[in-house]
Chain A
């Protein structure tokens, strides 16, 4: 039985400056463990992939930093934050279940003692499948190996309506056999 993981891009956020000089997101974050991708079109390393066990708290702190450094609205317009829900199943005929990542980007897999590093898997996917050769991450960029005895299948699903994968594609699916390396 393969291990299957769904990365659902559930929501996209921008940052705005209010009339009173306050900094705010244009939508509310939910609490809980999530992966996230931050795009910034104004740099040549356009993508950062992160993980947190509490996405609401993480981005509250990040907002304070933006305000203190005083970035302007035009600088903030280049930023888009995507929050990703994780689900997993280990039996083909069962349902996918929520599987929030830890602060280290790991999720439990019942059939193995090894945890699945979903953050590392997503970084490797961007660098090898989605054409983003340079990311802003400084760790976990050396590829991903399937350390399970089972095949690993993962899908990226765009529910943001922002055409994240181009050409109107809403879902992309990849797989790795046991022991196989990406790239």
Chain B
């Protein structure tokens, strides 16, 4: 039996400044637990990976910061937010949503799996030094006895190419 985790980019959202000085997103965030990647092409450390059990509330708070600090259109144009829904699948069961909490953990096969950490480690391997996260970037250990398979499905974001990885029971990623 395999344990599968799927990361699916569901939306790419940008920040806009209206003529009246209002900051707004190009579309609304779902009121649900999601991972997210914030890309800022204007910096050397281009990517930040985060988690929230209510991504709508999280980014409402972030836009209040934007208004208060007052960034210009030119500064916002390099920023994109990718919303990522997490799914899990155990053996032959159907794929089902596994929303993460504020600590980045989703319940998958009776274990609080750190799906944020797994994504950070995977992204760090892909993007190298370009990740701004200050923790969770060391290796990831498969907590299950079973094989863990995870894939990144990115038809909307164009961040990663769709890719699949696997790790034997109790194995480490990356395997040094």
> Which residues of A line the B interface, CB within 8 A?
20-22, 38, 40, 42-43, 45-46, 48, 50, 61-62, 65-72, 75, 79, 134, 136, 138
* A16 CB, min distance to chain B CBs, angstroms: 14
Q: Tell yes or no: B42 within 8 A of A by CB.
A: yes
- 13 new A-B pairs (CB below 8 Å) besides A22-B134, A46-B70, A61-B65? A21-B45, A38-B68, A65-B61, A65-B65, A65-B66, A68-B48, A69-B62, A69-B66, A70-B42, A70-B43, A72-B43, A75-B42, A79-B70
Interface string of B33-45 (1 = CB under 8 A from A): 0000010101101
Q: Tell yes or no: B155 within 8 A of A by CB.
A: no
From known contacts A61-B61, A69-B40, infer whether A48 and B67 are also in contact, taking CB-CB under 8 Å.
Answer: yes
Interface size range of chain B in the complex: 20 to 34
Report the bound CA distance from A38 to B134 in whole Å. Answer: 27
Report the bound CA distance from A20 to B133 in whole Å. Answer: 11
A68 and B134 contacting across the interface, CB-CB below 8 Å: no
B26-84 contacts to A, CB under 8 A, are 38, 40, 42-43, 45-46, 48, 50, 61-62, 65-72, 75, 79
* B100 CB, min distance to chain A CBs, angstroms: 16
A75 and B75 contacting across the interface, CB-CB below 8 Å: yes
B72 and A70 contacting across the interface, CB-CB below 8 Å: no
B46 and A70 contacting across the interface, CB-CB below 8 Å: yes
Report the bound CA distance from A62 to B65 in whole Å. Answer: 6
Report the bound CA distance from A130 to B22 in whole Å. Answer: 23
**B67 neighbours in A (Cβ, 8 Å):** 48, 136, 138
A–B pairs, 6, beta carbons within 8 Å: A38-B69, A45-B70, A68-B132, A69-B38, A69-B79, A70-B46
Main secondary structure, interface of B, reads mixed
A75 and B38 contacting across the interface, CB-CB below 8 Å: no
**B43 neighbours in A (Cβ, 8 Å):** 70-72
**B38 neighbours in A (Cβ, 8 Å):** 68-70
A48 and B70 contacting across the interface, CB-CB below 8 Å: yes
> Which residues of B line the A interface, CB within 8 A?
21-22, 38, 40, 42-43, 45-46, 48, 50, 61-62, 65-72, 75, 79, 132, 134
* B51 CB, min distance to chain A CBs, angstroms: 11
**A138 neighbours in B (Cβ, 8 Å):** 21-22, 67
From known contacts A45-B21, A136-B21, A138-B22, infer whether A67 and B132 are also in contact, taking CB-CB under 8 Å.
Answer: yes
Task: Select one of A40, A61, A68 contacting B70, CB under 8 A.
Answer: A40
Report the bound CA distance from A68 to B65 in whole Å. Answer: 11
* B106 CB, min distance to chain A CBs, angstroms: 20
A79 and B69 contacting across the interface, CB-CB below 8 Å: yes
**B75 neighbours in A (Cβ, 8 Å):** 42, 71, 75
Specify the chain A residue showing the minimal Cβ separation from B79.
Answer: A69
Report the bound CA distance from A12 to B61 in whole Å. Answer: 23
* B79 CB, min distance to chain A CBs, angstroms: 6
Task: Select one of B21, B48, B62 contacting A134, CB under 8 A.
Answer: B21
**B70 neighbours in A (Cβ, 8 Å):** 38, 40, 42-43, 45-46, 48, 79, 136
Which 9 residue pairs are nearest across A and B when measured between Cβ atoms? A65-B65, A70-B40, A40-B70, A70-B43, A43-B70, A65-B62, A48-B68, A68-B48, A43-B72
A62 and B72 contacting across the interface, CB-CB below 8 Å: no
**B132 neighbours in A (Cβ, 8 Å):** 21, 67-68, 70
A40 and B71 contacting across the interface, CB-CB below 8 Å: yes
* A138 CB, min distance to chain B CBs, angstroms: 6
